[in-house]
C-alpha cells in the first residue's frame, strides 16, 4: 500500500468514533480491535467494574474469580489474546484429578468416570461406570452394541439418543450431570451435533453409540498427540487479570473507558448513532445525570435482555428471546483441614434434581496458584440454578445463601463443615446466555446475526450470539470488529481483511 493511501486510512480511522456498550470480554475485545487501528473508542460499562461474567471477588482478603475461572483451549484464541497482552507466562493448567458425581440413587459419591464423551461411556462395564449405573444399567447400556444401527446418526436430541441406545440410567446419571454442569441444560434439549461435533457420523461408522464415542476419542487423542496440552487453562491470579490487561491496553491505545454508566437508549442520528447514558451521581440522593454521545458505529456488547431493549425498534427480525438461565455462585472461604485431602478431587457435579446446588468447585484443589495464596484455607464455589430451574438461593439474603451453600458443600464433599469453619463468603448473580448447544439455538443465532448485520454501523457481540464461553466470545468479537472496521474505513470497497 502506498504511503499516501496509508496516511489516508490513518486519517479516516482517527475520525471515526466507535462506542462500545458493555465492558465484558466481548465488548473489550471489540473495542481493542478498533482502537488498534487508531479509531476513537469509548467503552461504556454500567457496573462499577469491567469484566461482566469475568468477575473478581474479595473473599476475606483473598482475590478469587466469582464468575468465569478458566477458558477452553479450543481454537487457541484466548491463549493468543493472553500472549498479545503479555500474560502468556501466567497461563496455568488445572489439577487433572477430575471431579466427582453425587446424587445417583444408592451411590454416596463416585469419581466421574474417566474417558467417554459428555458422560457417555465407551465401556458400560468399566468399574467406574458400573459403580454409578449398577449392573442393571450396565447391561441395558450394553444393548447398544447388540442393536442394529437403524436410526443412529439421525437423532438430534442428545438425551433421546443416549436413552434409546444405552438406556435412561446412562442419560440421567452420567450425561445429565455433565450437560447441567457444562451447559446448564437438560440432555434432551442438547443438540448432539453441536455438543459433540462428529459424534453422529462416528456412530454411523461404528454401528453403536459407545463405538462411536470410542472412535471420536481415538480421533481426539490423535489430535492431542499432535498438539498436546490441557483442554482448559486458567490465569495465575484469576481470569480478571485478562480484564485488567485489556483495560490497560485500551487506555494505552487512547480509548476512553467509563464505568458506572448504564446506556439507557440507542437511536439513529443521520448515518451515525446517539447513545444515551445515565451517569450514576456521586451522591446517592442525587438524580442520575443524563448525557448523550454521538458515534459513527456502535457495538452492543451487553447480555441478551439488555441488548434487545436497546435494539428494540431499530432492527426488525430479531425473533423471540431465548430463555437465559439465572445462575448464582456462592464462594466460601473455609478453615477446614478435612479438605486438605481433596476428598472429591477438583469438585462435584450432581445428578439433576438430587440436590439444591448444581455443582461445586473445590477451587483450591483445582488451581495451585490459589492454593498457594490461600495457605491453610480452602476456597469452595457452589453453583445454583440452571436452564428452566431458578437458583435455590434466589430468594435468600446473603447470609442465608452462604449457610445453604455451606450445607450443600458439606453434603457434596462428604466431610463435616460446621459454621465455625466459614471465614468469609461472597455471592454473585449472573444471567447466563442461552446455551449454544440447545436444539435450535444455532439457527436462531444465525438468523439474529443476519438481521443485525443489515444495519449500517452496528455490531452485536457477546455470548448470546457467539455462544457461551471465552473461547467462543473472543474470536467472534474479533471477527465482528473486523467486519465493522472494514465497513467504516472502506465502505463498499472493503478488502477482505484490515491490517
Ligand X SMILES: Cc1cc2nc3c(=O)[nH]c(=O)nc-3n(C[C@H](O)[C@H](O)[C@H](O)COP(=O)(O)OP(=O)(O)OC[C@H]3O[C@@H](n4cnc5c(N)ncnc54)[C@H](O)[C@@H]3O)c2cc1C
- Give the residues lining the site for ligand X (CB under 6 A): 21-27, 44-47, 52-54, 67-72, 262-263, 301-303, 306, 327, 329, 430, 432, 462-463, 468-471, 473
Half-sphere exposure of 455 (CA within 13 A, CB side): 23
Residue closer to ligand X by CB (options 54, 161) is: 54
Are β-strands 378-384 and 359-362 bridged in parallel, bridged antiparallel, or unpaired? antiparallel
**Least Cβ distance, residue 469 to ligand X (angstroms):** 4
Q: Which residue has the cell 437423532?
A: 155
Residue closer to ligand X by CB (options 54, 235) is: 54
Residue closer to ligand X by CB (options 265, 415) is: 265
Locate 27 and state its grid cell: 465488548
**Least Cβ distance, residue 154 to ligand X (angstroms):** 31
What distance in Å separates the CA atoms of residue 50 and residue 53, rounded to the nearest whole number?
9
**Least Cβ distance, residue 211 to ligand X (angstroms):** 31
**Least Cβ distance, residue 391 to ligand X (angstroms):** 11
**Least Cβ distance, residue 135 to ligand X (angstroms):** 36
What distance in Å separates the CA atoms of residue 463 and residue 350, rounded to the nearest whole number?
25
Residue closer to ligand X by CB (options 53, 448) is: 53
Half-sphere exposure of 55 (CA within 13 A, CB side): 17
Give pairs for 210-217: CB < 8 Å, separation 24+. 210/120, 210/121, 210/122, 210/123, 210/124, 210/141, 210/144, 210/145, 210/165, 210/166, 211/145, 212/152, 213/116, 213/117, 213/120, 213/121, 213/122, 214/122, 216/117, 217/115, 217/116, 217/117, 217/122
**Least Cβ distance, residue 147 to ligand X (angstroms):** 37
**What are residue 16's phi and psi, to 5 degrees?**
-100, 130
**Least Cβ distance, residue 225 to ligand X (angstroms):** 25
Residue closer to ligand X by CB (options 322, 462) is: 462
What distance in Å separates the CA atoms of residue 211 and residue 201, rounded to the nearest whole number?
11
Are β-strands 297-300 and 458-460 bridged in parallel, bridged antiparallel, or unpaired? parallel
**Least Cβ distance, residue 78 to ligand X (angstroms):** 8
Burial of 142 (0-12, 13-18, 19+ CB in 10 A): middle
**Least Cβ distance, residue 24 to ligand X (angstroms):** 2
**Least Cβ distance, residue 75 to ligand X (angstroms):** 12
Locate 258 and state its grid cell: 467509563
Enumerate residues 6+ apart whose C-beta is below 8 A from 424: 59, 60, 332, 333
Locate 306 and state its grid cell: 439488555
Which residues pair with residue 332 across a beta bridge?
380, 425
What distance in Å separates the CA atoms of residue 370 and residue 342, rounded to the nearest whole number?
14
**Is the CB of residue 255 less than 8 Å from the CB of residue 299?**
no
What distance in Å separates the CA atoms of residue 117 and residue 470, rounded to the nearest whole number?
21
Residue closer to ligand X by CB (options 77, 140) is: 77
Residue closer to ligand X by CB (options 71, 100) is: 71
Residue closer to ligand X by CB (options 161, 307) is: 307
Residue closer to ligand X by CB (options 151, 251) is: 251
Residue closer to ligand X by CB (options 72, 97) is: 72
Amino acid at each position: 500500500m502506498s504511503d499516501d493511501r496509508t496516511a489516508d486510512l490513518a486519517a479516516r480511522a482517527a475520525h471515526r468514533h466507535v462506542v462500545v456498550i458493555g465492558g465484558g470480554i466481548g465488548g473489550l475485545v471489540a473495542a481493542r480491535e478498533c482502537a488498534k487501528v487508531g479509531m476513537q473508542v469509548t467503552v461504556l460499562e454500567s457496573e462499577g467494574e469491567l469484566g461482566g461474567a469475568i468477575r473478581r471477588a474479595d473473599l476475606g482478603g483473598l482475590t478469587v474469580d466469582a464468575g468465569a475461572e478458566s477458558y477452553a483451549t479450543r481454537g487457541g484464541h484466548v491463549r493468543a489474546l493472553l500472549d498479545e497482552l503479555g500474560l502468556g507466562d501466567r497461563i496455568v493448567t488445572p489439577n487433572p484429578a477430575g471431579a466427582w458425581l453425587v446424587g445417583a440413587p444408592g451411590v454416596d459419591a463416585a469419581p466421574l468416570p474417566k474417558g467417554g464423551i459428555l458422560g457417555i461411556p465407551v465401556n458400560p462395564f468399566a468399574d467406574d461406570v458400573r459403580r454409578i449405573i449398577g449392573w442393571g444399567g450396565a447391561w441395558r447400556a450394553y444393548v447398544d452394541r447388540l442393536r442394529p444401527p437403524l436410526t443412529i446418526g439421525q437423532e438430534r436430541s442428545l438425551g433421546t439418543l443416549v436413552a434409546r441406545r444405552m438406556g435412561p440410567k446412562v442419560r440421567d446419571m452420567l450425561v445429565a450431570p455433565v450437560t447441567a454442569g457444562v451447559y446448564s441444560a437438560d440432555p434432551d434439549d442438547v443438540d448432539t451435533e453441536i455438543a459433540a461435533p462428529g459424534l453422529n457420523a462416528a456412530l454411523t461408522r461404528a454401528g453403536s453409540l459407545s463405538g462411536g464415542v470410542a472412535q471420536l476419542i481415538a480421533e481426539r487423542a490423535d489430535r492431542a498427540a499432535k498438539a498436546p496440552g490441557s483442554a482448559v487453562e486458567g490465569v495465575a491470579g484469576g481470569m480478571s487479570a485478562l480484564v485488567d490487561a485489556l483495560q490497560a491496553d485500551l487506555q494505552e491505545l487512547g480509548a476512553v473507558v467509563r464505568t458506572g454508566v448504564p446506556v439507557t437508549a440507542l437511536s439513529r442520528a443521520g448515518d451515525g448513532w446517539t447513545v444515551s447514558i445515565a451517569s450514576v451521581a456521586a451522591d446517592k440522593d442525587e438524580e442520575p445525570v443524563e448525557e448523550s454521545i454521538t458515534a459513527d458505529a456502535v457495538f452492543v456488547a451487553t447480555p441478551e435482555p439488555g441488548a434487545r431493549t436497546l435494539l428494540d425498534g431499530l432492527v426488525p427480525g430479531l425473533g423471540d428471546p431465548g430463555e437465559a438461565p439465572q445462575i448464582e455462585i456462592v464462594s466460601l472461604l473455609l478453615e477446614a483441614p478435612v479438605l486438605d485431602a481433596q476428598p472429591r478431587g477438583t469438585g462435584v457435579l450432581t445428578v439433576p434434581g438430587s440436590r439444591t446446588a448444581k455443582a461445586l468447585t473445590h477451587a483450591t484443589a483445582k488451581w495451585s496458584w490459589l492454593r498457594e495464596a490461600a495457605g491453610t484455607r480452602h476456597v469452595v464455589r457452589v453453583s445454583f440454578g440452571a436452564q428452566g430451574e431458578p437458583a435455590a438461593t434466589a430468594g435468600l439474603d446473603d447470609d442465608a445463601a452462604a449457610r445453604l451453600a455451606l450445607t450443600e458443600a458439606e453434603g457434596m464433599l462428604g466431610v463435616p463443615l460446621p459454621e465455625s469453619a466459614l471465614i468469609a463468603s461472597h455471592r454473585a448473580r449472573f444471567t447466563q446466555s442461552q446455551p449454544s448447544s440447545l436444539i435450535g439455538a444455532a439457527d436462531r443465532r444465525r438468523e439474529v446475526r443476519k438481521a443485525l448485520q443489515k444495519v449500517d454501523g452496528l455490531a452485536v457481540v457477546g455470548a448470546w450470539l457467539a455462544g457461551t464461553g471465552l473461547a467462543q466470545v473472543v474470536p467472534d468479537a474479533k471477527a465482528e470488529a473486523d467486519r465493522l472496521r472494514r465497513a467504516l474505513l472502506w465502505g463498499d470497497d472493503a478488502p477482505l481483511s484490515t491490517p
